Amino acid sequence: MKIYKHIERKILRDFTFIKGNIDLDQNYFIDQIEKGITEKDNKNFQTSVVGRMTDWKYFVKDKFFVKLITEIFSKLENKTNFQSFAIDTAWGFKEGFGERTLRHNHVGSYISGVIYFSKFEQSLIFDEIGEEVEVDIGNFAIFDGWLQHQSKRGTDSNIKYGIAFNSTRDHGIFTN
């Protein structure tokens, strides 16, 4: 075997990262997450979420989630260069003391995001770009799917609830 070249280095790359806060009914979403993590198709402790998690598509057709995402992206339409897209996965998660989210990305997704429904002494860390998203009610982040992110082990006695989602390029906001 011959190796003619091996390169490992960083390159500059354009990215989109948005964080904000939105008014919402966190109790509805927390109740739905609690329901979803008990269903047989849950992904508890099976993914980069080292905690409890619903099925990947659990919230895709949830009318309150659709309304929330539509409101967020309506505000962003004139502020980003996002082209049309479709939400293809949206899952709820629950993490507590000692739980965390392993470093990962959502390569293959056009746009990814997260919305939080509780306060938790932990942040979602995007170390490549030097950004963090504080876990608090209504806080959200929208970002290019290839950005690496993680959270450290929770040391809070509270519970972290949220919904993460991915999208693909499409002609509408939501898939059928």
**Does 6 map to a domain?**
no
User: How many contiguous H segments (helices) and E segments (strands) does the chain have?
Assistant: 2, 11
The token duo for 174 is 């939501």
**Does 56 map to a domain?**
yes
The token duo for 81 is 């260069």
Q: Are 61 and 173 in contact (CB under 8 A)?
A: no
Q: Are 32 and 20 in contact (CB under 8 A)?
A: no
**Does 2 map to a domain?**
no
How many C-beta neighbours within 10 Å does residue 93 have?
Answer: 24
- The per-residue pLDDT string of the chain (176 residues; one tens digit each, 9 = 90 and over) reads 887 777 787 778 888 889 999 999 999 999 999 999 999 999 999 999 999 999 999 999 999 999 999 888 887 766 666 666 788 999 999 999 999 999 999 998 888 999 999 999 999 999 999 999 999 999 999 999 999 999 999 998 999 999 999 988 765 554 44
Domain that holds residue 88: 17-169
- Three-state DSSP at 62 gives coil
Q: What is the pLDDT of residue 176?
A: 41
pLDDT in tens, 110-133: 889 999 999 999 999 999 999 999
**Does 10 map to a domain?**
no
**Does 1 map to a domain?**
no
Give the CATH number of the domain where residue 40 resides.
2.60.120.620
How many independent structural domains does the chain possess?
1
Instruction: Supply the angle between the helices 63-76 and 26-36 in degrees, to the nearest 10.
Output: 130
How many C-beta neighbours within 10 Å does residue 113 have?
Answer: 23
Is the pTM higher than 0.85? The answer reads yes
